[in-house]
Structure 1
Amino acid sequence: VPGISLVDTSTTGTATAQCNAVPSNFKAAYETYKDKIATAIDTFGLDTKVGGRAEAAALVAGVISQESGWVMKTGDGGTSFGLMQIHLSVHPECSSLGDVKSDPEANIKCGVKILSDLAQQHFNDAPRNYPCTVIGMTGYAGTNAVLRYYNGWPNACNSGTVGCCDKGDSNYVENVRRGNGHLDDWLDCFNAVGTMPPNP
């Protein structure tokens, strides 16, 4: 499945101007993986759960940008792997998709499957507060809820139990949307340059 191309086909260059906020090294890496991302989105139906193909591509690109900066690596003290920083002890089901530690395609498939499963479960939830964030977001719903669960929303946080905020990045959603993840910038970019072809 072909992915959204960042090549501007307009005569004015206005479409790629919308992509200027995304770092050039991230855009170059995205071009390398765009078809794998699109295929995974298609396989797991992420686009049908988060509002469309551009939204799904931006969600995946934002997570990869935040998690790994588009570099296949090991993180979290050796427990998370690849572009989407998959934690295999938390997601053992991903081992059936291939070697998520060293194969970018398997890693992307696993990450998109996780996002799709989370969207199926939580995208339409009523807004919920996450007591640990320190930069002001409240009422997580939709894509924000999916992101919060991707990084971890321990059950302890539902009741305000001590230790709730020791898990994951308290400001993960904010960092993916407007920080290193550039999700909002990715979405502006994808909406400007066009969308992936429709599902067959």
Structure 2
Amino acid sequence: MSIRLGDTAPDFTAATTEGELSFLDWKGDSWAVLFSHPKDFTPVCTTELGAVAKLKDEFDARGTKVIGLSVSPLEDHEVWKKDIEETQGVDELNFPIIADPERKVADLYDMIHPEVSETTTVRSVFIIGPDDKVKLTLTYPASTGRNFDELLRVIDSLQLTSKEQLATPANWTKGDKVIVTPAVSDEDARQRFGEIDAPRPYLRYVADPTA
């Protein structure tokens, strides 16, 4: 089953490094990032998990929970955790990793692409909102590590635009000017967001209201 933007994130129950959990109950009304790894004891994955552990405060500040997944068994996860902590300079792996040796979650989220591998997951990313709807999907090849600063940037954009009739321009980061959507009139935009910078009638910039 292919997961598309706007779909309700499929629920599942799975064993993790922090005990068995039901995904949507664990997520609650938070934002969440679910990201998969081809398997344990792989070099790129090791760096990625370390990078995410270092960013815990950033995800927490955005009300966002993070959970990883690998098709390797739980006992391998426990050994791999120690490798990650020792090689990536983190005190602890501070988020759960799903053990999915039967590939139930991987199949549910279409994380296995047969043209790449019949048995291991690609580097999939799903950002899920408080309403349990999928807000973003990304797929990376096994050879390319993900940029988690970019995921934080996307979460900032998603959280802003979920509350206001605004959009974010190319390469936007929090605090930069944002774009008023066409559904908002100039008058309403000025009342709600202040001064408008409009190089074209359809391209209207205002200050980031969350900055």
State the TM bucket, normalised to the shorter chain.
under 0.3
What TM-score results when the alignment is normalised by the length of structure 2? 0.27
TM-score, normalising length: structure 1: 0.28
More helix by share: 1
